[in-house]
Amino acid sequence: MPTFFSVPGKARHTRKKAFRFILNPLLLLLVACAAPKEAERTEAPAGFRVSAEGDALTLGWGGKPRLSGGSPVFEGKPFAATGAEADGSAGTFRFTGPSAQPVELTIDRQAGGDVAILSLTARGNQSPDGEKYLGLLFDAFPGYKRGIAFYCYDPVKAWTYPVPVPDPGRLPYPKDLQCMLWQYEDSTYAAAMPLGGKGYNATLGAEGGRFGAKSVSLVDHTPAEAVPLLAVSFGKDPFRVVDQLYEAGLTAVGKGENLRRKKQYPAAFEGIGWCTWNAYGHALSESKIMAGVHTFTGKKFPLPFLLIDDGWLNITGPNGQLKTFTPDPAKFPGGLKPVVDRLRREHGVRHVGVWHTINAYWGGVDSTGELGRQYRDLLMPYRDKVTWTDKPVETFYGPTVQSEAGFRFYDDWYGYLKGQGISFVKVDNQLVVDRMARRNRPLWEAAGQAEANLQKAAAKHFGGAVVNCMDMTTNVLYHLGSSAVARAVEDYFPEDTTYRMHHGNAAVHVLCALTNSLWLSPMVWPDYDMFQSHHPDAHYHAIARAISGGPVYFTDAPGKQRFEVIWPLIYRDGRIIRSDVPARPTEDCLFQVQEARPFKAFSRSGEAGLLGVWNVADADRVTGTFRAADVAGLPGENFAVYEYFSRQLRVVARDEALPLDLKRMGYALYYVVPLKAGAAPLGLLNKYNAPKTITRQSVSANALEATVAEGGTFGACLAKAPARVAVDGRELTPQQYRYEGGLLTVPLDETGGARTVQVGW
C-alpha cells in the first residue's frame, strides 16, 4: 500500500516506527497500513497536512510534500531523535531519543488549513545557557523552485535587505532572517515567519544544509514549554499567502492588535514634512530651523509637519547620555515652545516632532546627572556599545524593561514635550531591546515591555503618532501594538553611489523599501525615510514615496529645493496624495533583487492601479514588459495606461504586454485605470498619484463625470471625441480643452477647491 508521500531515507532514520496523521481541530485519525514497516497515514483533505516517518516530520499542502525531514535542534546540547510519532492528541508529535525526555512539537492549522503554527516543548533538552538556541530545522523543500528572504544585517542589525534563496539549506545565514517567501515548481507559493512567546524569540536561518527557525531567550534557565517557533503559509496567490501568514501568526502569539488593518493612520503624517537631519545634522539650532522653514513657506510651499532630528537634545559624555528632558540650552535658549509657537504662527506648521532613541539617547541616560537622580528607581543597567563605532562594550542605563515602571519615564518626557507643543516623535535604536534583555529578562517579555512602555505613552500624549525606526527585527515589530508607522529601509544616504545592499544608492534604497514592504505591510504602514528634491535621483525616490501609502518627508538643504519634484506629491494645502494600500513588488518581481531587468511595484487608489518601474540593477540598460494585470486585484478586462513623465496613453487588454526600456537609474510611473463604456477618468495629471485626486466619479454609456479635489490638469481616456465638456456646469469651448490620441485634458483653475468635470460624447 503506497504512502501519501515519501521521505528520503537517511542513515540516522531508524524507520522502525512511523506514523502519519491529518491535523483536524476536532480529531486525529490514525489508520494502520497493511504493509509491515510502512508509514501509517490518513486520507488528507485539500490543504495542509503533516506526517511523520522515522525520526522526522513532513509538512504537505495541496496533496504534495512541501517541507520534509523536520526535527528539533538544541544548540550546545544535541538531541539525537530516534523516532517521531503522534501521541494521540490532534496536532502533536513526540520526538524520542535514546537518553532524553521526549520533545513535543504541536502544530495548529489556521486559515482553513493553509497556515501551520509550530510550537516546541523541550522537556529540559535545551541548553541552560540563554544565548543558546532551540529550534526546528528541515532537510528539504521538495519541488522547491526559488525564493527570497529578508536578512537583518550587520553591523547594526536594525534593517533587512532581500537575499535570493536558490537553495534554503545552503544559505550563508545561520540566523537573523526575519521572513522568507518561496515558490514551488507547481506554482504553489509558501511563506514563513519566525514566532515568539514564552520568553523566546525566533529568527529563520540555515545550518548544515538544513533550514528552519531558531529561538533564544537570552536569559539562562528559561523554561521552554509550548514555545511558538514558526508559522508557514501556503497558497496560489503570493500576496494572500503573506497576508494570511501574518494574520494567523500574530494572532497565535497574542499580537493580533499589531495587524495594520486594525490600526489608525496618524493624522500628523497625512501632510508632507521636512526633516532637519541632512540639512544641519547635529549643528541645528532655533535660528537655523526657522531660516530653513522659511525657504519653503517663503516660496508658498506648505509644510504641515517638521521633524527636529538628532541634535536638539541635552547630552553629555563621549557615547552620548541624556542629561535632561529639556533641549540643549545653547541651541534652544527658551526651550522648544517658542520655536513651535513661531513655526505655527508664522509658517503654518501644524505638527512638530522630535527625535530620540528608545533608550533616551545612543548611550542611554546619564546615571549621575539630573535624570539619573530623578529616575534612579526605574533605570536599568545593561551592557552595550554604540554599534557602528569601535568603542568597547560598556554599562549603560535606560528605562527599565523589567516592568511597566519604565512607562513613567516616557510618560513624564512626553508630557513635557506635549506641553512644549510637540505632537509626534521619531523613536530610533529600537533594536537595543535585545541588549537590554540579555541576562536581565527573557527576550520576548523584555521586548514586549519596552514597546508597551513607549507606545502607551505615545498613545496618551500624541495619539500614537510615532515614526518607529531601527525596528526591522521581529522582537520589535511584533510588539508595536496599535503603532501604525515603521521604517521599511535603512537611512537615506544621498552621497552614496554604489549598488551595495548596505549604505547603497537610490536604486538600493528603493529596492529595499519596496521589497521589505512585502513582509512589513501586514503590520504597519511602511515609511521609506526622507529624500532630497535637489538630488539627481530625486524623481527616482519621489515616485516610490508617491505609491508607498506611508509618510512622505524630505531633508532638503535650505534654498536648494526643486519644488517641481515635490509639488506633484501633494495638494495645495500640503496633504499627501496617499495611495490606499502599501506598495509591493509585482508578482513577477517578487524574487528579483538586482538582476538586469526592470523592477516593478504597485499600489492602488480606488479601482485604479499605480505601477512604478525602476532600473535597480548595476546596468546601463534594462528591458522587459509590463501588463495591466501586474496590478494585483485590479478589476476589469480593458484599461487606460498613462505614463506620468512621457505623457503617453495606451489602451490595452488585461494581459497585453507593453515594452519597458530603462537606462541606468531610469524610472517610469504608470496609472492603470479600468475602462468603462470606453472611458476612464485619470485624475489630475500634474500629480504622481492622479487617480487618488478623484473624489467622486461616474461613467455611463455616453457620459463621464468626475470631481477632483482641486484645480490642475484633469485628464481622461475617451474612445470617442467629446461632444460636450463642462466644468462645474459651465460648458467649455473646444479651445478650452484638448482631445488628442484618446486623451482629453482640461485645465482647471488652481484657485479654490474641488472641481467637477462633465463630459458627453
pLDDT at position 449 is 98
Smallest Cα–Cα separation from 70: which of 78, 60, 62? 60
CA distance 486 to 524: 6
Cis peptide bond upstream of 526, omega within 30: no
Average pLDDT of span 419-436: 97
Residue 299: Cβ-neighbour burial (10 angstroms; 0-12, 13-18, 19+): exposed
Alpha helices in 423-505 (DSSP H): 433-437, 443-462, 474-477
Percent of the chain with pLDDT over 90: 87
Of residues 385 and 120, more confidence is placed in 120
pLDDT at position 97 is 82
pLDDT at position 33 is 30
Residue 5's pLDDT band (cuts 50, 70, 90): very low
Per-residue pLDDT tens for 129-177? 999 999 999 999 999 999 999 999 998 999 999 999 999 999 999 999 9
Residue 52's pLDDT band (cuts 50, 70, 90): confident
Over 80: is that where the pLDDT of 17 sits?
no
Residue 388's pLDDT band (cuts 50, 70, 90): confident
Residue 46's pLDDT band (cuts 50, 70, 90): low
Residue 78: Cβ-neighbour burial (10 angstroms; 0-12, 13-18, 19+): exposed
Residue 83's pLDDT band (cuts 50, 70, 90): confident
Residue 89's pLDDT band (cuts 50, 70, 90): low
Per-residue pLDDT tens for 255-276? 999 999 999 999 999 999 999 9
Smallest Cα–Cα separation from 471: which of 517, 427, 519? 427
Non-local CB neighbours of 382 within 8 Å, separated by 6+ positions: 364, 395, 396, 397, 398, 435, 436, 438, 440
CATH of 20-253, one of 1.20.120, 3.30.420, 1.10.3470, 2.70.98: 2.70.98
Residue 403's pLDDT band (cuts 50, 70, 90): very high
- Kindly state the cell numbers that stand for 573: 494645502
Average pLDDT of span 413-427: 98
CATH 3.20.20.70 region(s) of the chain?
267-487
Point out the least confidently predicted range of 26-40, 245-259, 302-316, 542-556.
26-40
Q: Kindly report the backbone phi and psi dihedral angles of residue 151, in degrees, each rounded to the nearest multiple of 5, phi listed first.
A: -100, 125
Over 60: is that where the pLDDT of 9 sits?
no
Of residues 571 and 12, more confidence is placed in 571
pLDDT at position 386 is 81
Q: Which CATH superfamily is domain 267-487 in?
A: Aldolase class I (3.20.20.70)
Question: Which is it for the CA torsion 458, 462, 464, 469, positive or negative?
Answer: negative
Rounded to the nearest integer, the mean pLDDT of the chain is: 92
Q: Work out the angle at residue 430's Cα, subtended by the Cα atoms of residues 429 and 431, and round it to the nearest 5 degrees.
A: 90
Average pLDDT of span 243-252: 98
CATH 2.70.98 region(s) of the chain?
20-253
Residue 87's pLDDT band (cuts 50, 70, 90): low
Average pLDDT of span 661-680: 98
